[in-house]
Amino acid sequence: MPAADPMPFVHLSEAEVAAALPPPLEAVAMARRALIALADGSAELPPKPSVHAREGVLANAMPAYLADGDLLGLKWIAAYPSNAELGLPTHLGLVVLSDAATGMPTAVMDAAALTGSRTAAVSGACIQALAPPRPGHVAITSAGVQARTHLLVLEALGMEDVAVVTRRRESAAALGSWAEQHAPGIALSCVPTAEEAVNGASVVVTAVPIGAAGARIDPGWLRADALLLPIDYATSIGAEVANAARLYSDDVGQLLRYRDAGSFPDYRDPDGYCGDAIRTERPPGQVVCQNLGNGAADLIFADYVLRSAVEAGSGRELPR
C-alpha cells in the first residue's frame, strides 16, 4: 500500500496566533465546551509533570486528548518571573497539535496569546452561568495581560463596570489607554489596593503572580454572594474563603494533587467540577471556581487558531 501524503506541519508565531484567536463570545463558548468535557470525563489529562530549572522557576508539560473533536496535543509552558528584570516575557511556551489518527504533528504555535485568551474565556464561561443575580462591578487584582484579556471578555458579556488594581501610575495610564481603544464599552476604574477593588464587587478575578506575598483577600471585603475566580491558585483566595463557599474546579483531580503537594493548604475537597456547576442553577452564597488551566481548553483554542490561520494564509510549513 502506498504511503499516504503527509499532512502539512505548520508553525505559527505569537503575532499569527493572536491574529487568529476567536472573538470573545465564541471563545467563551469554546471554554464552556472544555469545562463540560472535563466534567463528563471525555477529556484525558494526566497530572502535569513539572521541572524546576532554577529557584523560583516552574515549567510544566500539559498533554491532553479531547474526544470532542478528536484533538491530541501538548502545551509546554515555563514561568520565569526573573525575566521581567531582563525585559523578557515571564511566561513562555508552545502548543503542539498532532493528528489523533496517525500521531503526525500538524502544528506548533506560540502559547502566550492563546493562553491569555483561553484563561479569560474560562472565567467568562463561569461568569455567564454563576455571576450573582444582584448587579455589581467586577474586580481584577492585577493590571497585566490577564486584565486586558478579561476586559475583552467582560465587555462581550455586558459587564461594563470594572475596577482593576494598578499599583503604579504608569500601569493605570497604560491600561486606561488600551481599554479606550480595545474595550470602549468598559467603565474602567484603576485603584491602588485590592480592598478598594474588591469591596462590593459581584465578581472578583484574582490574577497576581502565584505565590506573591501579601496578596490574600480579606473575607470581610467580599460580598456575601460574590463569584470568585482565582487564576493565581490559593495566593489570593485562602481556605478561610474557599471552605465557606461552594467550591468548584475545572479539574478536580488536579486540584487534589496540588493540595497534596502543598499548593492549596487547608482547602477542603471541592463540591464538583466547574463544568457541572455551569449547567445547574447557581447556588446561594459565595462561589469559588478554581480554574487551574487545562490542556483540553488549550487544544480547542489551538485547533481553532490553526484552522483560522490556514484559512487566512498565515503560518509557514515546516519540513518533516
3-state helix, strand, coil in the chain (%, to 5): 35, 25, 40
CB-based burial label for 201 (10 Å; 0-12, 13-18, 19+)? buried
Please name the residues in contact with 21: beta carbons below 8 A apart, sequence gap of 6 or more.
Answer: 27, 113, 114, 117, 301, 304, 305, 308
Active site residue 48: no
Alpha carbon distance 236, 221 (integer Å): 12
**CB-based contacts of 297, cutoff 8 Å, min separation 6:** 30, 31, 34, 35, 118, 121, 122, 250
Through-space distance between the first and last CA atoms of the chain, rounded to whole angstroms: 21
Catalytic residue among 21, 31, 59, 75: 75
Distances (CA, A) of 278 to 129, 201, 253, 274: 5, 20, 18, 6
Residue in the block written with cell 467568562:
124
Provide the annotated active-site residues: 75
